[in-house]
Amino acid sequence: MTIRAYHEIYLNKAQTTLGDAFDHAIITCGIPGDIFIKCFSASTISKRIENGEPAVLAGKSGIDIAIDVMLETTGKQLENEPKQRLVRSREYWIGWAVCYYQWYSSRSFADIFRVLSYEDLQNMYYTLHEADITKFADIADTRIREHFTETNLKRIRTYYRCSQAELARLSGVSLRSIQMYEQCNKDINKASAETLYRLARTLGCTIEDLIEK
């Protein structure tokens, strides 16, 4: 999928910030990794990153994010003194890598962590932390696609927060057809050019984005 919430120029900063947040919360403050993941996924901070809000992407440090997440979800105030480290921690890599995949896939953090547990990510670190980040993205994408057997149409529609009924009304494609395409009861690859054009135009994507590979 090619539609992303924010420009790639912000990606490095976002990755570094989320890596620092995971490192600070889990290593410095001693919060169990699986707990911090749950808190982060449930927080408004994660939604604001997903939406590409500059105030979060460029305006907060990793420590700020860790503090905000725990205060919002548990009422717990974290210490705000960073620890000096000579090398990046495993926890930093987890936050850094997941941030990249969220940007790359436009999936929610909640969905990503529903499939990839903290233990899974720890295990992936040992074989992938020195590899190109796209290797992690490919492996994560395969596992998540296997878990969420959804079509490109449904994924893009959901990303735009557009209901099936609304898409039908705006595109002129029948609600029943949209439902059948999303449930794989009807092959969208065999849809007419006009149908694909109407859906793509309404969703702001290309026809190729809707085709199932």
Taking only the tens place, the pLDDT of each residue in 204-213 is 999 999 998 7
Domains: count for the chain = 2
Q: Report the Cα 19 to chain-centroid distance in Å.
A: 15
Burial of 113 (0-12, 13-18, 19+ CB in 10 A): buried
Q: Are residues 22 and 60 in the same domain?
A: yes
With a CB cutoff of 8 Å and minimum separation 6, the contacts of 19 are 62, 88, 92, 93, 94, 95, 96, 99
Tell me which residue of 64, 66, 63 sits closest to 35, measured CA to CA. 66
Q: Is the pLDDT of residue 1 over 80?
A: no
* Token representation of residue 176: 């029943």
Helix or strand or coil: residue 4? coil
Q: How many CB atoms lie under 10 A from the CB of residue 165?
A: 11
Question: Predicted confidence band at 14 (pLDDT cuts at 50, 70, 90)?
Answer: very high
Query: Rounded distance, CA 36 to CA 75, Å?
Result: 13
Are residues 82 and 12 both part of a single domain?
yes
From residue 134, alpha-carbon distances to 112, 138, 153 in Å are 16, 6, 24
CATH number at residue 169: 1.10.260.40
**Can you spell out the DSSP letters for 12-25?**
HHHHHHHHHHHIII
Q: Determine the pLDDT at residue 18.
A: 97
Task: Give the confidence band of 68 by pLDDT, cuts at 50, 70, 90.
Answer: very high
**How far is 108 from 51, CA to CA, in rounded Å?**
10
pLDDT band at 12 (very low <50, low <70, confident <90, very high): very high
Q: Are residues 121 and 175 in the same domain?
A: no
Per DSSP, the three-state class of 51 is coil
Same domain, 117 and 191: no
**What φ, ψ does residue 137 adopt, rounded to 5°?**
-60, -40
| Rounded Cα distance, 112 and 104, in Å | 12
Residue 33 lies in a domain: yes
Shared domain for 37 and 138, answered yes or no, is yes
Report helix, strand or coil for 43: coil
Query: Is residue 1 assigned to a domain?
Result: no
Q: Mark which of 147, 163, 180 sits at the end of a domain.
A: 147
Residues 113 and 20 occupy one common structural domain: yes
Name the residue range of residue 48's domain. 8-147
143-160: pLDDT as tens digits: 987 887 778 999 899 888
Q: What is the pLDDT of residues 106-137, one digit of tens each?
A: 888 998 999 999 999 999 999 999 999 999 99
40 and 132 in a single domain? The answer is yes
Domain stops at, among 129, 147, 165: 147
User: What pTM did the predictor assign?
Assistant: 0.73
